[in-house]
Amino acid sequence: MLRLIGVGNRWRGDDAAGLVVAAGVRARLRGGIAVIEDRCEPLELIEACEGAQAAWLVDAVCSGAPPGTLHRFDAAERALPAGLFRVSTHRLGVADALELARALGRLPPRVVVYGIEGSRFAPGRPLSPAVAAAAERLAGALSTELAACAAGR
Protein backbone atom coordinates (compact mmCIF):
# COMPACT_ATOMS: atom_id res chain seq x y z
CA MET A 1 0.00 0.00 0.00
CA LEU A 2 1.19 3.49 -0.88
CA ARG A 3 0.28 6.40 1.37
CA LEU A 4 0.32 10.16 1.03
CA ILE A 5 0.06 11.97 4.34
CA GLY A 6 -0.65 15.68 4.37
CA VAL A 7 0.22 17.21 7.72
CA GLY A 8 -0.97 20.53 9.09
CA ASN A 9 -3.50 22.74 10.76
CA ARG A 10 -6.05 24.25 8.40
CA TRP A 11 -6.67 27.15 10.81
CA ARG A 12 -3.06 28.44 10.90
CA GLY A 13 -2.37 29.97 7.48
CA ASP A 14 0.52 28.30 5.66
CA ASP A 15 0.55 25.44 8.16
CA ALA A 16 -2.34 24.01 6.09
CA ALA A 17 -0.06 23.43 3.06
CA GLY A 18 0.23 19.67 3.59
CA LEU A 19 -3.54 19.32 3.92
CA VAL A 20 -4.08 21.30 0.72
CA VAL A 21 -1.65 19.03 -1.16
CA ALA A 22 -3.39 15.92 0.19
CA ALA A 23 -6.79 17.22 -0.95
CA GLY A 24 -5.36 18.05 -4.38
CA VAL A 25 -3.88 14.57 -4.80
CA ARG A 26 -7.11 12.93 -3.59
CA ALA A 27 -9.06 14.87 -6.24
CA ARG A 28 -6.68 13.71 -9.00
CA LEU A 29 -6.14 10.03 -8.14
CA ARG A 30 -8.47 7.08 -7.90
CA GLY A 31 -7.53 3.94 -5.96
CA GLY A 32 -4.27 2.27 -5.03
CA ILE A 33 -3.10 5.11 -2.82
CA ALA A 34 -4.35 6.01 0.64
CA VAL A 35 -4.49 9.77 1.14
CA ILE A 36 -4.51 10.82 4.78
CA GLU A 37 -4.84 14.25 6.34
CA ASP A 38 -3.15 14.45 9.74
CA ARG A 39 -2.73 17.03 12.48
CA CYS A 40 0.72 15.54 13.24
CA GLU A 41 -0.02 13.95 16.51
CA PRO A 42 3.08 11.72 16.66
CA LEU A 43 1.23 8.49 17.39
CA GLU A 44 -1.31 9.16 14.63
CA LEU A 45 1.51 9.84 12.16
CA ILE A 46 3.29 6.61 13.13
CA GLU A 47 0.04 4.67 12.71
CA ALA A 48 -0.58 6.33 9.33
CA CYS A 49 2.85 5.14 8.13
CA GLU A 50 2.69 1.65 9.59
CA GLY A 51 2.27 -1.18 7.11
CA ALA A 52 2.88 1.00 4.05
CA GLN A 53 5.35 -0.06 1.36
CA ALA A 54 6.06 3.62 0.82
CA ALA A 55 4.86 6.87 2.33
CA TRP A 56 5.04 10.45 1.14
CA LEU A 57 4.54 13.20 3.71
CA VAL A 58 3.94 16.89 3.07
CA ASP A 59 4.20 19.57 5.74
CA ALA A 60 4.89 23.28 6.04
CA VAL A 61 8.42 24.26 7.02
CA CYS A 62 10.19 27.40 8.13
CA SER A 63 13.87 27.74 7.19
CA GLY A 64 14.06 31.33 6.06
CA ALA A 65 13.89 30.41 2.35
CA PRO A 66 11.38 32.30 0.19
CA PRO A 67 7.73 31.32 0.76
CA GLY A 68 6.66 28.52 -1.56
CA THR A 69 10.14 26.96 -1.79
CA LEU A 70 9.89 23.16 -1.95
CA HIS A 71 12.25 20.97 0.07
CA ARG A 72 12.50 17.21 -0.59
CA PHE A 73 14.03 14.63 1.76
CA ASP A 74 14.50 10.86 1.75
CA ALA A 75 13.62 10.10 5.37
CA ALA A 76 14.22 6.36 4.95
CA GLU A 77 17.94 7.08 4.40
CA ARG A 78 18.53 9.64 7.13
CA ALA A 79 16.86 11.75 9.76
CA LEU A 80 15.12 14.92 8.66
CA PRO A 81 16.64 18.24 9.68
CA ALA A 82 14.49 18.65 12.80
CA GLY A 83 14.86 22.43 12.93
CA LEU A 84 13.15 22.75 9.57
CA PHE A 85 9.99 20.95 10.74
CA ARG A 86 9.34 22.96 13.93
CA VAL A 87 6.19 24.73 12.71
CA SER A 88 4.03 22.21 14.57
CA THR A 89 1.72 23.36 17.35
CA HIS A 90 2.62 20.15 19.15
CA ARG A 91 5.75 19.31 21.14
CA LEU A 92 6.82 16.74 18.57
CA GLY A 93 6.83 17.50 14.87
CA VAL A 94 7.16 15.37 11.73
CA ALA A 95 10.91 14.84 12.15
CA ASP A 96 10.47 13.65 15.74
CA ALA A 97 7.56 11.36 14.85
CA LEU A 98 9.49 9.75 11.99
CA GLU A 99 12.52 9.16 14.20
CA LEU A 100 10.28 7.58 16.82
CA ALA A 101 8.80 5.33 14.09
CA ARG A 102 12.34 4.41 12.98
CA ALA A 103 13.34 3.53 16.56
CA LEU A 104 10.22 1.38 16.95
CA GLY A 105 10.83 -0.40 13.63
CA ARG A 106 7.61 1.02 12.18
CA LEU A 107 9.05 3.26 9.45
CA PRO A 108 8.16 2.16 5.89
CA PRO A 109 11.07 1.12 3.63
CA ARG A 110 10.53 4.23 1.50
CA VAL A 111 9.64 7.59 3.05
CA VAL A 112 9.75 10.79 1.03
CA VAL A 113 9.06 14.06 2.83
CA TYR A 114 8.26 17.35 1.14
CA GLY A 115 8.39 20.62 3.03
CA ILE A 116 6.70 23.72 1.65
CA GLU A 117 8.30 26.89 2.95
CA GLY A 118 5.66 28.98 4.70
CA SER A 119 5.62 32.57 5.85
CA ARG A 120 2.42 33.19 7.80
CA PHE A 121 1.24 30.87 10.52
CA ALA A 122 -1.07 33.10 12.56
CA PRO A 123 -4.44 31.62 13.52
CA GLY A 124 -7.27 32.44 11.13
CA ARG A 125 -5.05 33.43 8.21
CA PRO A 126 -5.44 31.90 4.72
CA LEU A 127 -2.57 30.34 2.79
CA SER A 128 -0.18 32.92 1.40
CA PRO A 129 -0.31 33.16 -2.41
CA ALA A 130 3.19 31.67 -2.83
CA VAL A 131 2.36 28.67 -0.64
CA ALA A 132 -1.00 28.12 -2.36
CA ALA A 133 0.75 28.06 -5.76
CA ALA A 134 3.48 25.70 -4.49
CA ALA A 135 0.86 23.37 -2.98
CA GLU A 136 -0.99 23.20 -6.30
CA ARG A 137 2.23 22.44 -8.23
CA LEU A 138 3.26 19.79 -5.72
CA ALA A 139 -0.19 18.14 -5.78
CA GLY A 140 0.12 17.77 -9.54
CA ALA A 141 3.67 16.42 -9.41
CA LEU A 142 2.89 14.01 -6.59
CA SER A 143 -0.20 12.74 -8.39
CA THR A 144 1.99 11.81 -11.35
CA GLU A 145 4.68 10.26 -9.13
CA LEU A 146 2.22 8.26 -7.04
CA ALA A 147 0.28 7.01 -10.07
CA ALA A 148 3.54 5.78 -11.61
CA CYS A 149 4.52 4.02 -8.37
CA ALA A 150 1.07 2.43 -8.04
CA ALA A 151 1.39 1.16 -11.64
CA GLY A 152 4.78 -0.35 -10.82
CA ARG A 153 6.79 2.03 -12.98
Break the chain into its structural domains and give their ranges: 2-150
Per-residue confidence (pLDDT) for residue 32, from 0 to 100: 79
Rounded Cα gap, residues 46 and 42, in angstroms:
6
Q: What is the pLDDT of residue 71?
A: 96
Query: Average model confidence (pLDDT) for the chain?
Result: 90
CATH architecture of the domain formed by 2-150: 3-Layer(aba) Sandwich (3.40)
Predicted local confidence at residue 135, as pLDDT: 98
CA atoms within 13 A on the CB side of 27: 9
**pLDDT at site 91:** 58
User: Which pLDDT score is estimated for 109?
Assistant: 95
| pLDDT above 90 for 111 | yes
Mean pLDDT of 20-42: 87
Percent of the chain with pLDDT over 90: 67
For residue 67, pLDDT beyond 70: yes
Mean pLDDT of 73-82: 89
| Arithmetic mean of pLDDT, 36-59 | 87
> Can you give the pLDDT at residue 20?
97
Identify the helix (H) or strand (E) that includes residue 114. Answer: strand 110-117
pLDDT of residue 110: 96
- Write the pLDDT tens digit of every residue in 88-108: 555 577 888 899 999 999 999
Compute the chain's Rg from CA coordinates. 14
Q: Which of 39, 47, 41 is nearest to 3 (CA)?
A: 47
| Band of pLDDT at residue 43, cut at 50, 70 and 90 | confident
